[in-house]
Structure 1
Amino acid sequence: MTDIALTLNRRRLLALAPLPLATVTPALFPLPAKAAGSSSGGQVIAYVTDVHVNLENEVSIARAHACADALVELDPDLVLHGGDLTGHGTALALGTWMEMFPASFRDRIHHVPGNHDAAWTNDAYEAYEAEIGPRQYSIDLDDVHIVLNDDSIPGQSLADYDDQQIAWLRADLAKAAGRPILAVGHHTLALTPNQIRNGDKVLDVLTDAGAHAYLSGHIHSERSNVINGLTELSGVSNGTNPGYYQLVRRTTADSDVFEVERVDLADPTKPGAKPGRHPLPAIDLSPANRNRLRPTRAEAQVTAAGLKVEVELGPDAQAEKVEAAVMGPELAGGNIDNYQPLTAHGNTWTGTLDLTDVPAGENRAFIRVSAPGGAGPIGGNLWRTTLHFELEGFIPDWTFTLRGTTTAALIADEELVISATTAGHIWAMQRDGRRITPVWRAKIGPVHNDPAVRGERHQIFYPSSDHHIYALDSSTGDSLWDSDLGAPVMSDLTAATVDGDPVILAVAVDSLYCLNSDDGSLRWKQKLTGISGGPATCDGEQIYLGLGDGQTWAFDARTGEPGWSIEQARGETSSFDKVHHGPWQAYRLLLPDNALLAYSRYSMRAVTRSSGEMLWEREGAFNLCPGARMWGDQVLSVSNNGTVLLLDPATGDVELEVETVPYIKNADFLIRDSTVIITSVGGLVATVDLNDGASEIVGQMVPDYVFSSPVMSPDQSHYIVATMGGELRSYPLP
């Protein structure tokens, strides 16, 4: 075993391993003396979100300073922050935001992380606890219970609550039963369904606990609705419009509310800008009538005519309308605009939804019950219920529940299917007829990105956010070695050969490593000019890698010394835009005649391997799509939006172009004979025949995100996939 102690010079790094969830008591997070009043009311809470501190952006800094100064002047009992503290995820930006407040004030500020703090894995996510505090915890302000939730996913912009977080949330809320409850999370919960992968489950937990409000950000838009008895307030971004929301407790003999007011600050970057205020609907803390819109019964049944929906309301519901909609395959989009009104028969509302274009497999229907004015963006009152139903034709033969969420690619090793989770559990499974049997299991650090494989040696290499690379025997799960790179390994790994020696290529934040695959010893390390998520591509002479500086680089495979680079971020100048629009997650493909195909958010570009000189370019978004490959003498590629392309590698001329699923992120496609099988990020599966371009939707798996590359069964009769929620599933292929 080799232990390479390579510590990067960065600020106070902590492991990216899942953090313990705990309730933070006032003794740990002392409230200021002014907060210790009676429970009869008077508390003042300030809410701010999305400050997006970017040290290269003077506008963001000025607006953050203006907000910080105003909050100190307000002197509230608490300040709650809805996430996206940083522009593109740096520890320095976290510290800069906190240093805008006097030290004596900082204990009043409570944050949740946002996707900008986690998605690009610079160093903010790892430094978050040291710079800011816990990621998921709760506090009390007199009788008000406040729970701060972490829905962020390392390396992703989407949101999720894993099973551990759900269990913690349920237990924490149970301790506050009967008291006013406020919840804070970065992504919107119900205003735009599917911002959070399992938002319906989170909403149920909050509803069952009697929570009164959910404060969020992310969409940079002000909205307030009462949904399932819970006031959901989405706040304007301080990075766009400096200001905050003021919540003041008002308790009388007849009511108990938090009055809500938006306070717009004079924008310091706009001369002549005036401050302003406007009220929003109050947050009702009283228990009466909170659940009157809740259906007493809601059912959906698949019939020959469509999906028959029946909803029964209580006698005091006083609903203006009841609607239903089938959730389509655009899971990541989050919006539903096809609600159909149901017909009332007393307290029962019925209707039949068209299933003509609904894919086989597992689907969802949403029921929306609206009070007068209930569907509006501001001040509405509605209830939403989710129903699950199945359509025959794409039902799994078996399902196995993993421990943790799954974003890394599956591995097929002879008869085994091997999966890794963000909890660090590695499972090797063997199919036995219509069942699946565990063969071996191992425990390592959290795995977020794709492993590398040396099938002939039965070796698997896993990157981990705990700073290590782990090598396992794929037949037994035995540990072969592990190497500490001193920083989170949040890139895909690459198995390559240099001068006849097998090596593993990895990126830890902003350094490229070349390790001997036999023992994990270090061959060389190269400091990069930006972050990278890999994977690296190697032809034995050079290594090709996209970076967060907006460029694709060539490095000497023997020494790591940088060679040529090409700009692929369309001339973006700021670090944020270079990361956001650059090729740091994009794939590359070795083409014939010593050419290279380099992907980016804007195009695919063929260049010479010797100099990076452009040979041809094709417009389109390819930075998050699966890697291209040669199919015969043609390039087979799939774009971010699921368009399958067959190209001439010498000219880029298109010989086949077929649109399929709405959106792909990281999950690689499969090929069976001449058929390409594509998996969307929302779980929709489609096929394309490369001979004639014929395409069809195979089905819709459990409504869940899919980032993990699927595999085929050894006999190619089954498609095996892992959902992000941690379900390993096997589907028969037509």
Structure 2
Amino acid sequence: MRPEESSAHAASTPSGVDAATAADASQRIGETALRRGAAGERRPRGIGRRALLTGAAAAAGSAVVCLGPLWARAHILDGPRDDDQGWGTGPEAAGTVFASFITDVHIDAVAAAQDIHLQLVLEDMRALNVPLVLHGGDITEFGSNDTYDRYLRLVPEDFPGEIQHVAGNHEMRWDPSGGNVYRARMHEEGSRSFDHQRIHVIMLEVSGPLQEEAHVSRATLEWLRADLRMAGRTPSIIVMHCPPGADFHYVRGMDQLFALIADHPVRAILAGHNHSETVTRVNDTIVLTGRAVKNSPVHYLLRHSPTEEMDQLTVEAVSLPAPGDDGERTVTPVVTIPMGTPRASGHQAMPRRLNARAPGSAVHVSARIGGEDALVAAAAQVWDESLYGLTEHGTWYDMSIDGTLLEARIDVAAISPPVLPGTHRVRVRGTAADGGTWEAADELTTRGGPVRPLGTYEVDGAVTGAVVPTGEDTMLVSTDQGEVISFVLRGRSLRRQWRVETGSVHRPLALSPDAGTAYVPSLDRALVALDISRGRELWRAELPERVASAPLVVTTDGLESVLVSAGPTLNRIDETGTVMWTVPIPVQSCGRPLVLGDTVVIGAGDGTARGYSLERGAERWVAQLARRSTAYQRLLYGPWTTTVRPIGADAVLVGTVDTLHCLDAADGTTRWTAAASAMYTPPEILDDGTVLVVQERGQAALISPDDGTITPIGEGGQVSLDAGLAPVAGTHRAWHVSLTGVLSLIDADAPDVTALHQVTTSRVIATPAYLPVPGAVVVGDQDGMVRAFDVTEV
């Protein structure tokens, strides 16, 4: 669930739950023990019978959602279908209890409502002797150790079942350990699989460190391909946090995911995240999202009927009355999952040989299906890359069906939002007579505009932090797979000069003043110094915690040192790698500090900005910037990942989710505030002191350094997270690449923002580089593609 949505519920309590009830619930909390799987079944390491949390949306009753005609928006049915297509269950399901599915419990260190909901669900499962619990993620509110402690205590020692988890975005979004806290506390080692009652269960980890949106990476796809090959003809189900397919826009790489599983007997995907109960069918795979346990006590009971006549899983929503509610335990049929159907890729309705091209003013889309009567309708869509973290149908264009040929001609001028030159995706969706949907996707390249693609280079893992220029035509690229790579742009070619393994990197590295040394923040609990000319490690400073923040290089009295936070610590390291001092900071900091005079200013995870002495790290002042009622809200709305900027000779800018604060560097007092979300994309200070910002939702603006007056630039843009601006030296212009891959030029003098090119269909979470001599912008994306673009004609 998106943070701004979930935070509104962080301190909520259901009606009828008072302090006495909460206290009684706390007394009934038991310690947790681990339990291994049954002999003879393949189990991943670290399996425990630990948590139960399920997706329960606040909607009354149990509404089943499925797709209607392919171009039509998903609609809510009045009740579950009970027909011969295998969608519905009868009034009472039969079969062996296979498992229960729960999701989105959001255990907080202070809230009691979720505790009670979870306890009720666990007690019901224990009464049913459920052997396996599948947890769809968002176990905790924000992944802190105390929230994991509380969750683990809630599972009774005598609970009979085994509990398997996947991480949700709430486990990973604010975790400076890169997911290591989740893995250690839940004893889960990434994506894994096991067999249970002759069904192959895949726990697919798609939530990434410090990211809101899910991502099915190339490495995850490779692992899944190998796992499904080993499983052979055994029917499989996948558990993941964010739902893919249909009208969901929560998972990057979902087209590749569906293309892969189409060749294997994957019968269902169980997911959470959207806190509502929906059922869709994509390429003969049932996608079920569950209601959130945070909102009400609910779990989904799966019964297995492996007979000669049929092999199916029936799913029932078990809703329990919360304390103080007048109601009864209800069991509502949700969906039947056929386990014995053939592979989706062999189905007559599956679109194949998809081709999309844009030779002129129209996009031509064609595909083939296996049978003339396989589909009753079909439509095509140029994917709107601006959609982020939501459910949205978008605009679909009817396709003609001529025998087995599907075709559409889409007027480019009619597409909204306008299609930029560059790389896009086209989706084809067909509707079968039984209401199921069949989808395929292809890449589309549209030409034109002043930006010209140059060379590309594929690296292992996601490009993170920043593409950092080191010379006129050279740069450094860092990845979450732990590599720093030096590139040179020669003509149209990106060439690798050297590569060094440093440990996983998630924030921008820093350069020494002479650009001879790179200081790399590593999740291997270290700051690593690299010789840029030779590509070798100079030293490695071991730090107390994993480093998921950006270092700052400081020169005082001719001596160079580096400031960097590591989890809940701030550290100063000299030019030989010796730690000069370490001081605690509340919760964490994943941003970058600033030194003004002899004061170090940093944003912390308790909603504060803090000032420390540079010499010894003594605390000088504390400024509370997020006055919220819970630790989760203070973290979410505070400056936990801000890049502190100087403004004038004696003031600093500290950004939070919704406000930019101008503080006196000497004592932390507020000079002015501006209602601007300027934390994720760091602001740039122009030579006249004006502040240039790009807000989280993409709106660029100029902010007065005198009083914080905001002047918007342009008509708004697309979501911008983590990737900063690439200023053009000596001008009031800067290059910007949105999270959604749109390259824009911001001109503060005009003032205007010009969207120019769609550089990728992946996500961009790393700051691009502008190389002025060749006149190129270099962009790295989440799929590991490094691309250079000639911008000399702009």
The question of a shared fold, defined as TM-score above 0.5 by the shorter chain, is answered with: yes
1:591 corresponds to 2:652: no
Residue by residue over 1:678-715, the C-alpha shift from the partner in whole angstroms, topping out at 9 and shown as x without a partner, is 11001011112222223321100120110111111241
Matched residue type, 1:109: I
Give how far 1:29 is off. 7.2
Match of 2:134 in 1: 80
| Cα deviation 1:203-257 (Å, max 9, x = unaligned) | 2222222210111111111111110111111111111122110110124444321
Q: Give 1:224's aligned residue.
A: 279
What is the alpha-carbon root mean square deviation over aligned residues? 2.4
**Post-superposition shift, 1:401?**
0.6
- Report the CA distance between 1:320 and its aligned residue: 2.8
1:611 counterpart = 2:667: yes
1:360 and 2:428 matched: no
Shift of 1:328: 1.8
CA distance in 1, matches of 2:396, 2:145: 43
Match of 1:398 in 2: 455
Contact 1:420–1:427 at 8 Å: present in 2 too?
yes
Identity of aligned residues (%): 23
In the TM superposition, 1:252-271 aligns within 5 A as 252-268=307-323, 270-271=324-325
Letter in 2 for 1:594: D
Residue 449 of structure 1, aligned match among 507, 516, 531:
507
Note closer, same or farther for the CA distance 1:589–1:128 as it changes in structure 2 (3 Å cut): closer
Q: Is the 8 A contact 2:567 2:589 kept in 1?
A: yes
Query: Where in structure 1 do 4 or more consecutive aligned residues deviate above 6 Å?
Result: 29-32
Change beyond 3 A, Cα 1:322–1:433? same
CA contact (8 A) 1:515 1:523 kept: yes
Counterpart contact for 1:361–1:395, Cα < 8 Å: no
Task: Give a deviation string over 1:158-180, Cα, whole Å, max 9, x none.
Answer: 21233222111101111122221
> 2:589 aligned to 528, 532, 544, which one?
532
Give the AA of the match of 2:697: N
Match of 1:522 in 2: 579
1:305–1:352 contact (8 Å) kept in structure 2: no
Residues 91-100 or 228-237, more deviating: 91-100
Structure 2: which amino acid aligns with 1:130? Answer: A
Matched, 1:494 2:552: yes
1:301 aligns with 2:357: yes
CA distance in 1, matches of 2:202, 2:789: 39
The answer to which of 154-163 and 230-239 deviates more is 154-163
| Separation of aligned partners in 1, 2:360 and 2:41 | 54
Residue 183 of structure 1 corresponds to 238
- Could you tell me how far 1:531 is from its partner in structure 2? 1.4
Which shifted more, 96-105 or 55-64? 96-105
CA distance in 1, matches of 2:389, 2:155: 36
**SS, match of residue 96 in structure 2:** coil
Match status 1:703 vs 2:761: yes
SS at match of 1:93: helix
Check 1:574–1:282 CA distance in 2 against 1; reply closer, same or farther (3 A cut). Answer: same
**SS of 2:351 mapped into structure 1:** coil
The alpha carbon displacement at 1:69 in A equals: 2.1
Work out whether 1:55 is the aligned partner of 2:109: yes
Give the structure 1 partner of residue 259 of structure 2.
204
- Map of 2:154 onto structure 1: 100
Secondary structure of 1:681 counterpart = coil
The equivalent of 1:283 in structure 2 is 337
Contact 1:329 1:662 in 2 (8 A): no
Q: What is the one-letter code of the residue matched to 1:214?
A: I
Which amino acid letter does the alignment assign opposite residue 168 of structure 1?
A: W
Give 1:651 shift. Answer: 2.0
> For the structure 1 residues 27 and 551, does the alpha-carbon distance in structure 2 shift closer, same or farther, using more than 3 Å as the test?
closer
Q: Flag structure 1 segments of 5+ consecutive residues without an equivalent.
A: 1-22, 33-39, 375-380
Offset at 1:301?
2.2
CA shift, 1:54, in A, is 1.1
Q: 1:396·1:731 contact (CA, 8 Å) conserved in 2? A: yes
Tell me whether 1:371 sits opposite 2:371 in the alignment. no
Alignment match, 1:722: 780
Map of 1:685 onto structure 2? 743
Is the 8 Å Cα contact of residues 129 and 161 (structure 2) preserved in structure 1?
no
Which of 91, 98, 109 in structure 1 is aligned with 2:163? 109
Matched with 2:182 is 128
Deviating more after overlay: 361-370 vs 552-561 = 552-561
Alpha-carbon distance in 1 for matches of 2:152, 2:221: 29
Distance 1:366 1:690 in 2: 37
Counterpart for residue 637 of structure 2: 581
Residue type matched to 1:169 in 2? L
Structure 1: how far apart are the matches of 2:778 and 2:769? 5
Tell me, what secondary structure is at the counterpart of 1:168?
helix
- Report whether the alignment pairs 1:25 with 2:49: no
> Given that residues 701 and 710 in structure 2 are in contact (C-alpha distance below 8 angstroms), is that contact kept between their aligned partners in structure 1?
yes
Q: Indicate the residue corresponding to 1:7 in structure 2.
A: none
Deviations for 1:424-466, whole angstroms, at most 9, x for unmatched residues? 1111111221112221111111111111111415111111111
Query: Alignment length, in residue pairs?
Result: 696
Q: Which AA in structure 1 matches 2:718?
A: P
SS at match of 2:714: strand
Matched to 1:55, the amino acid is A
* 2:698 paired with 1:642: yes
Higher mean C-alpha displacement, 116-125 vs 394-403: 116-125
Query: Contact (CA 8 Å) 2:591, 2:603: kept in 1 or not?
Result: yes
Change in 2 beyond 3 A, CA 1:403/1:272: same
Structure 1 equivalent of residue 524 of structure 2:
466
Q: Secondary structure at the match of 1:410?
A: strand
Partner letter of residue 45 of structure 1? A
- The letter of the residue matching 2:411 is D
Indicate conservation of the 8 Å contact 1:642/1:678, yes or no: no
How far the C-alpha of 1:509 sits from its partner, in A, is 1.2
Q: State which of 675, 691, 713 in structure 1 corresponds to 2:771.
A: 713
Q: Which residue of 2 aligns with 1:694?
A: 752
**Which whole-Å CA distance do the structure 2 matches of 1:75 and 1:135 have between them?**
27
CA shift digits 1:60-85 (9 cap, x unpaired): 22222222222222212311111111
| Distance in 2 of aligned mates of 1:609 and 1:655 | 25
SS of match in other structure, 1:642: coil
Q: Report the Cα distance in structure 1 between the residues aligned to 2:620 and 2:521, rounded to whole angstroms.
A: 26
| Alpha-carbon shift at residue 655 of structure 1 (Å) | 5.3
Structure 1 residue 363, shift from structure 2 partner:
0.3
Instruction: State the partner residue of 2:369.
Output: 313
Taking the TM superposition and a 5 Å limit, the aligned residue runs for 1:30-49 are 42-49=96-103
* Paired residue secondary structure (1:687): strand
Amino acid of the structure 2 residue aligned with 1:550: G
TM-score of the two chains, using structure 1 as the length reference: 0.90
Tell me whether 540-549 or 625-634 shows the greater mean CA deviation: 625-634
CA–CA distance in structure 1, aligned partners of residues 756 and 530 of structure 2: 35
Contact 2:143 / 2:182 at 8 angstroms: preserved in 1? Answer: no
CA separation in 1, counterparts of 2:185 and 2:707?
51
1:371–1:205 CA distance, 2 compared to 1 (3 A): same
Deviates further, 533-542 or 104-113: 104-113
